[in-house]
Structure 1
Amino acid sequence: MSQQRPIASAGLVVWRGGEVLLIRRSKPPYQGEWSIPGGKIGFGETSEEAALREVREETGIEAEIAGLVGVYESITEHGHFIMIDYAARWRSGEPEAGDDALEAEFVPLATALDRVSWDKTRTAIEDSLSRLGALKAPDS
């Protein structure tokens, strides 16, 4: 691990009805794995701005943040990352892979939980439901 400081990143759990937006990562680390859209926070950028920018760059989707889901940490051979995840509602656009994504699509909750390999991302997806007052978890 050559990195000397934690890297701050932001992600969005975007809901459209009962479906969650997922991306399949195109670059290391975790290339080829499914996750929520997100990435590094730029200097002078708030975590909310970074999360909305990342979802736009990776999927073409416009979203509205509903609230903070949680802050998660990952310390592995890939580095030390602090991830700030938000719940969001889909506003417009159809998912199209861009930037750091091989694929982008809305999938049912059960599919999302099955595809995502990192337990903290699964937790963020589940916890995001409580941030979206009007959204009810679909029967699966």
Structure 2
Amino acid sequence: MTHDTYGRLLMIRRAHAPGEGLWSIPGGRVEAGESDAVAVARELLEETGLTVSIGRLVGTVTRPAPSGLYEIHDYECHVVAGVAVPGDDAAEVAWIDLATFTTLERTNLLTEGLAPTLRDWDVLPRA
């Protein structure tokens, strides 16, 4: 997950299932032979147009999938280059402040379980 200098959280609105139309943090599948760091950097570039450096592991969560479970590892990231634009799996990309995040949560526009997980990890938008 990526915060800007104002404390806003980088989020995408999903363009495809699962969660089409809902807001989430960018990410995706680790391909064969990739490390988590390489996969995170690739997915962020593909979905947001941003080049990032990968920091610490923030947390791990397991979510249901059509054929079992997904284990999701979320890392702290820092933007090193680029301009945020929606990419292959994103309908929109935005830097989300706490008021907007709260509105998205209240109107059920966040992916399932995202808000409580980010709260537990203490990584909600800070602005």
TM-score band (shorter)? 0.7 to 0.9
| Structure 2 partner of 1:117 | 111
Give % identity: 32
| Structure 1 partner of 2:48 | 59
Aligned-residue RMSD, C-alpha:
2.3
| Structure 2 partner of 1:16 | 4
Pairing of 1:1-140 with structure 2 (within 5 A): 13-17=1-5, 18-75=7-64, 77=66, 79-115=68-104, 116-119=110-113, 121-126=114-119, 127=121, 129=123, 137-138=126-127
Supply the distance in 2 between the matched residues of 1:117 and 1:28 (Cα, whole angstroms): 11
Deviations 1:16-43 (A, max 9, x none): 1111111111111111110000011000
Change (3 A) 1:27 1:117: closer
Q: 2:48, 2:87 within 8 Å by CA — same for their partners in 1?
A: yes
Using structure 1 for the length normalisation, give the TM-score: 0.74
Q: 2:63, 2:69 within 8 Å by CA — same for their partners in 1?
A: yes
Deviations 1:78-137 (A, max 9, x none): 742110111112222221111111011112134235432322x324544264xxxxxx93
